[in-house]
Amino acid sequence: MTPTQLSQTVLRTVRHAVADGELRVPVPERVVVKPAPRPGHGDYATGVALQLARPAGLPALGVAGILRSRLAAAPGIELVEVSGPGFLNITLADGSGAALVRDVLRCGTAYGRGGALAGESIELVFPGETRAAVTADALRRLLRSQGALVTGRCTGPADPDWAGLGVISDTVSTTPGASAGAAPVRLPVRPVPVGASAGELLRTLGADAARWGLLRPAAHDHTRLTGDEHDPLLVQRESNPLFRVRYAHARARALVRNAADLGVESVPGDPGAPGGSGEPSAPGAPSAPSTARDLLAALREYPAVLDAAARHRAPDRIARHLEQLADAFFRFHDACPVLPRGDEKPGAAHRARTALAEAAGTVLAGGLFLLGIDAPAHL
Cα–Cα distance, 328 to 333 (Å, whole number): 9
pLDDT digits (tens, 9 = 90+) for 101-152: 999 999 999 998 888 788 889 999 999 999 999 999 999 999 999 999 999 9
Topology of 241-370 in CATH? Isoleucyl-tRNA Synthetase; Domain 1 (1.10.730)
Three-state DSSP class for 148?
coil
pLDDT for position 178: 46
Q: Do domains 3-93 and 241-370 have the same CATH topology?
A: no
Look at the domain 3-93 and name its fold: Gyrase A; domain 2 (3.30.1360)
CA distance 97 to 294: 11
Per-residue pLDDT of the chain (379 residues; tens, 9 = 90+): 778 889 999 999 999 999 988 889 999 888 988 887 766 677 889 999 999 999 999 999 999 989 998 888 888 888 888 888 889 999 887 767 888 899 999 999 999 888 878 888 999 999 999 999 999 999 999 999 999 999 999 999 999 999 999 998 777 766 554 444 568 899 999 999 998 899 999 999 999 999 999 999 999 999 887 666 666 777 777 889 999 999 999 999 999 999 999 999 999 888 866 554 444 444 455 566 788 888 988 998 898 899 889 989 999 999 999 999 999 999 999 998 999 888 888 899 999 999 999 999 999 999 999 999 999 998 7
Q: How many CA atoms lie within 13 A of 257 on its CB side?
A: 9
The domain spans of the chain are 3-93, 121-229, 241-370
What is the C-alpha to C-alpha distance for residues 292 and 290, in angstroms, rounded to an integer? 5
**Other beta carbons less than 10 A from residue 229's beta carbon:** 8
